[in-house]
Structures are given as structure tokens and as C-alpha cells.
Amino acid sequence: MGALLAQAMQMQQQIADVQAKLAATHVTGSSGGGVVRATVTGGGELVGLEIEPSVADPTDTETLADLVVAAIRDANRAAADLQAQAMGPFAAAMGGMGGMVEGMGLDASAFGRGASGGLGGLPPGSR
């Protein structure tokens, strides 16, 4: 049982390392053929927004708002794909352990797969 706990602790550290790399990685999404670009971290935090001056029409702010939302969604999809790719191996590894992690009094979400079966251990709002 001690070896299993040590393995779980090692995996938890590896996940923390991956999460730090995700937070330092930037992905960009766009809309309107690239006239609006949003940049988010691998954790889903919006860190940049670029708007081509040609779409900044003061009489049509609704279209601009739609383009901004679409670019942010596109960037967040890219971040979610990056998260799934980075955390997938940990989720798969935890899937084979069933409820053993929770049985040891540990939080399975810190290992990449929570009780809900989704990615865990990521900052709120980054899924």
C-alpha cells in the first residue's frame, strides 16, 4: 500500500508540473477570418485580445461583440484541447485505479480525474 501511495504522490507532482506548463503556454483563437484574435493560457485565462481597426465600427458594436465572443470561444476550445492532450495520460492511469485513491483519503481530482470522470485539478473556469 505504501508503494501505491508513493506512486500516487509522484503522479500528483507530475500533474502539478503539467499544470504549470499549461499556465505558461498561450494559445490563440480567432474569428471573422482573423480580424479578432483572443489569446488564452493553457489553463483558459484570457491574456490578450487583438482587434483589427477595420472592424471597429461605432455604429455596429453588436457585430464586434459577437466577433470577440467567438474568438474567445475559439481560444478556449484550443486550450481545452491542449488540457485534454496534456492531462489525458493521467486521467487514463487514474481510471484503472477505481476508488482506491479516494479510499486512501486523497482527492482524485488532484490527479487529473475526479469522481465526476472529468479533468480535475485545474483552476476554476479553465475547463
Where is pLDDT greater, at 105 or 19? 19
Which amino acid would we find at residue 88?
A: G
Residue 34, pLDDT > 90, answer yes
Is the domain 21-87 a CATH 3.30.1310.10 member? Answer: yes
Tell me what the mean pLDDT of segment 27-55 comes to: 96
pLDDT per position as a tens digit, 54-105: 999 999 999 999 999 999 999 999 999 998 888 888 777 766 555 555 555 5
CA distance 127 to 122: 8
Residue 60 CB burial class (10 angstroms; 0-12, 13-18, ≥19): exposed
Degrees, nearest 5: CA angle 81-67-26: 35
**Which one has a higher pLDDT value, 76 or 108?**
76
pTM: 0.66
- Kindly indicate the confidence band of residue 9, based on its pLDDT and cuts at 50, 70 and 90: confident
Determine whether 23 is exposed, middle or buried from the number of CB atoms within 10 Å of its CB (0-12, 13-18, 19+): middle
Highest mean pLDDT among 1-5, 9-13, 60-64: 60-64
Q: Would the pLDDT of 116 be above 60?
A: no
